[in-house]
Amino acid sequence: MSGREFRAAAVVCGTLALLAGCTLGAHGDPAPAEPALSGAAPPPIGSIEHPRPVDCVDGTAATTGRAGTPLADSPGSASLPPSPASSSPSARGSGSPPATAGSAAGTGLGADLGDVTVGPLTWRGLRGLATGDQQAHGVANSGGWHYRAGPAVTGDAVVTVTVGAEERARAGLEFGGGYGNTPAPAVTFHGCPASVTSFYGGFFVAGDGRACVPLDVRVGNGPTRRVVISFFNGPCPA
């Protein structure tokens, strides 16, 4: 190889090496690692994933009395009309409301056929809201109706109540006022030991306040049981 050819080959090789170096420098180096995420934000309190806690101290406990017996109301209860328990036929001593055949078994009905009972939780007279005077049991504002209906929990049971997905856009649970007045789709009641704990609160139903609202009730970590409550909407499918 002549000297001229040698020098030309060296120039070509140097140029190729330079290009290779630029290419490696621009694209060949590994990209810096992305910073590790610290974890997703926890679900908000009152969501389906994190039901709003309604603790023993949020209720009124009595060491005697039948589950669901109305006890003293918490401050501010004048904003809602009396609960169904105080105005139901059974509470007035005129007898329980009529029941359809087989309604006392497997449908969430308690000792009084107007009650809704699932395990240690009882809503007295809640079945009575299917018909009757809506204004006697509810208050209309904020785009819907608020119905006072406080349950009672026997002993230190933990009971989670969740509004079914079918009506979750319209209905909510108004318990645990320490978290604000916004209705929640799910709450967990914590009863007081050796007592019956009555909780103040109720339901919200948007619009005209008439709906069949499914409730999924779970005691502790047990299976979920569904009951359907009619809010002035007549008979509801089970």
Q: Three-class SS of residue 13?
A: helix
H/E run at residue 10: helix 3-23
Domain range summary for the chain, segments of one domain joined by +: 52-231
pTM of the predicted protein model: 0.68
Question: Do the Cβ atoms of 89 and 96 come closer than 8 Å?
Answer: yes
Quick one: how far is CA 234 from the chain centroid? 24
Report the sign of the C-alpha dihedral through residues 167, 169, 175, 176, in that order: positive
Strands (DSSP E) along the chain, which ranges?
A: 52-54, 59-62, 116-118, 121-123, 138-141, 144-148, 152-154, 158-163, 171-174, 186-190, 196-199, 202-206, 211-219, 224-231
Quick check: 154 pLDDT over 90? yes
Query: What pLDDT, in 10s, does the model give residues 172-226?
Result: 999 987 887 789 999 999 999 999 999 999 999 999 999 999 999 999 999 999 9
Q: Please state, rounded to an integer, the average pLDDT across all residues of the chain.
A: 75
Short-list 153, 198, 150, CA closest to 174: 150
Query: What pLDDT, in 10s, does the model give residues 38-93?
Result: 567 888 888 899 999 999 999 999 975 444 443 333 333 334 455 554 444 333 33
- pLDDT of 2 reads 54
